[in-house]
Each structure stands twice: as structure tokens, then as C-alpha cells.
Amino acid sequence: MKAVLAQIAPALGDPELNLRRHLEQARRAARAGAVLIVFPELSLTGYLLQDLASDVAQDARAGAQTARLAAASRRTAIVAGFAELAPGALVHNAAGVWAKGALAHLHRKVYLPTYGMFDEARYFAAGEVLRTFQAPWGRTGLLICEDFWHLSSSYLLSQEGMEVLIVVSASPVKGLRASGGPAGAVWLSLGRVVAQFFGCYVLYVNRAGCEDGWTYSGGSFALDPSGEVLAQARELGPDQVTVRLDPSRIRQVRSAYPLLRDEKLDLVRRELDRIASARYAGS
């Protein structure tokens, strides 16, 4: 089963232009027989939206662009990021999976980075839910950028049976040092840890291009369940890579390293309850 990682440079605040680019790439992926094409975080809108976030926010199913993404997903599933206008006039940094003509899964970014160069919690409401969903290519979890930096996100999804983890991001160049390797090297290190800990595929799709002086680092990659790099897109510029997902690889890796079999969910829950009660006791 082929999956396409579409490392694009979305236009800022122009969902219609971005939609046309999504549809064009999705059509090509479908012609090439891919089951899935993944676009980066906020791929329909661009990342540095600030007050534009509420201007371009739309419903996940009936939005001007989301409805057309759904319609275009009959042959190849599409993962794309957008500003979601949710009930209660909440605006979320969200990513959807559209398949067979409809929205199959929606993830609202749980961890909104608001420190250093990031200011997301000013403009977005935080998501409260982490769930996997069943897809033709396996049980799948979807995380957005900062979500992935909290190991508990991948852990929870893995306990629900995740076989493929999709991470979409808008990760910028920051602190380029000669001794630090390529701009996105840390993502690859973390991705390999997660793939090996949980015996799952990791599809990481970052964006390219620049906005307001930020340059996004690209370097999207796919890892197999043993943490091997299947493919990597180039740094900085737009790129596209195709990888093959093979469910038998998950079985092989998990029989060699039965880490999930031996996981003690009850112990984790019991200890977390104890730690949480102690932390909030008397406060």
C-alpha cells in the first residue's frame, strides 16, 4: 500500500489556492495508485495566521474547502490541516482524514505551543481528545506537531492499537549549529524512538517555504516499525516522496520485540492515579 508524503509550501491565508494544489497532488497520487496522501499542518491555510485564523476557519465537513477535499477522497485518502470552526465558535488547529468521500477522522491539536517563537494558544482552542481510527492501511493515530513532543500522545495511541502514526507539522528552522546536524534532525531522532518503542510506522510530514521571516525546514520522512528510514524528503524546499506500507512488517517487529504485549496498562493507570492525587493533594 503506497502512501505519499506531500511536503508543500502552503500559501498564507489563501485556502482556495491551497485547495487547488491539494486536489492536483491528490489526483496524481490516485493515478499512481496511492491509498493515502498526507499534507502538513495547516496545509489549507498556512501556519502564521494570527488573527487570520478565525477569518479562514471552516467546518470540518461542510466548509468551502473541506467539502471539496471530501469529494476528492474517493480513491485516495487525504490528510490535510486546516483551521476548524467548531461548535461554540471555537477555532482549532485541526487535521482531518478524508476517505471514501467523507470525513473519516478529525484531530484537534491538543498541545498548542505558546513559548519562544510560538503563540498558538492566543489564536486556537486546545483539543481534548486522542483517538486512533481504523483505515485500510491499518489502525492509525494522527498528531499535529507539538502533540508529538509529548510522549504520552504516542503512548496513548499505541495502547489503542496504533499501527501507523501520522505526524503533520510546520516546523521552522531554529538554532542552526554546525554541530547540530540538519535543521530537522531532532524530528528524525524522536521519530525513530517512537517507531521502535511502539512498533509502528511513522509518517512525518513537515512543510516547506517561508512566512514572516520563518523558514520551514521540510525533511519529511517515513520510518518502518523498526525505526529504519524508508524515505526522506529534502530540507527546506517542497518535495514529495512515496513509501510502501507493509502490515507484515508490524507483525515481524512485534514478534521480535513484544514490547506492547508486555506493557502493563493497569500498573501505569494505578501509578498515574497515585501521582496525580499526590500532586493535587492539599491544593
Partner 1 sequence: MPARRPPPRPDPALDLDLAGTQRVLTSFIAGEVLRTGRKRVVVGLSGGIDSAVAAVLARRALGASGVVAVLMPYRTSHPSSERDARRLTRALGVATERFDISPMVDAYFASDPRAGRVRRGNKMARERMSILYDRSEVHHALVLGTSNKTELLLGYGTLHGDMASALNPLGDLYKTQVRRLAERLRVPAAIRAKVPSADLWAGQTDEAELGHSYDELDRLLHLLVDRRGSRADALAEGWPRRMVDEVLRRIAGSQHKRRPPLVAKLSARTVGIDFRYPRDWGT
Least CB distance from residue 135 to partner 1, whole Å? 34
**Of these, 115, 179, 266, 267, which contacts partner 1 (CB under 8 A)?**
179
8 A C-beta contact, residue 17 and residue 55? no
- Please pick, from the candidates 1, 52, 86, 190, the single residue that binds partner 1 as defined by CB under 8 A: 52
Among 17, 24, 33, 50, binds partner 1 (CB under 8 A): 50
The residue from 5, 35, 37, 48 that contacts partner 1 (CB under 8 A) is 48
In this structure, the strands spanning 102-108 and 132-135 are unpaired
Binding residues among 231-250 for partner 1 as defined by CB under 8 A:
235-237
Q: By C-beta, is 186 or 259 nearer to partner 1? A: 186
CB of 54 to partner 1, least distance (A): 11
Q: Is 178 in the site for partner 1 (CB under 8 A)?
A: yes
CA distance 238 to 11: 12
177 binds partner 1 (CB under 8 A): yes
Instruction: Return d(Cα 86, Cα 57) in angstroms, integer.
Output: 9
Question: Does 159 sit near partner 1 (CB under 8 A)?
Answer: no
Instruction: Please name the amino acid found at residue 147.
Output: D
Among 138, 161, 182, 227, binds partner 1 (CB under 8 A): 182
70 binds partner 1 (CB under 8 A): no
| Burial annotation 47-71 (CB, 10 A radius, 16+ → b, else e) | bbbeebbeebbbebeebebbbbbbe
**Cell, residue 123:** 489564536
Provide the 10 A C-beta neighbour count for residue 266.
8
**How many residues of this chain interact with partner 1, rule: CB under 8 A?**
25
Question: Least separation, in Å, of the C-beta of 201 and partner 1?
Answer: 28
CA distance 116 to 128: 23
Strand ordering across the sheet containing 164-168: 132-135, 138-144, 164-168, 201-205, 221-223, 229-232
Number of H helices, E strands in the chain: 8, 14
213 sits near partner 1 (criterion: CB under 8 A): yes
- In 3D space, the residue among 24, 109, 92 whose CA is nearest the CA of residue 56 turns out to be 92
49 binds partner 1 (CB under 8 A): yes
Query: Is the CB of 191 or the CB of 218 nearer to partner 1?
Result: 218
115 binds partner 1 (CB under 8 A): no
| Residue choice 13, 15, 199, 225 for contact with partner 1 (CB under 8 A) | 13
Which chain residues interact with partner 1 by CB under 8 A?
9, 12-13, 48-52, 173, 176-180, 182-183, 209-213, 215, 235-237
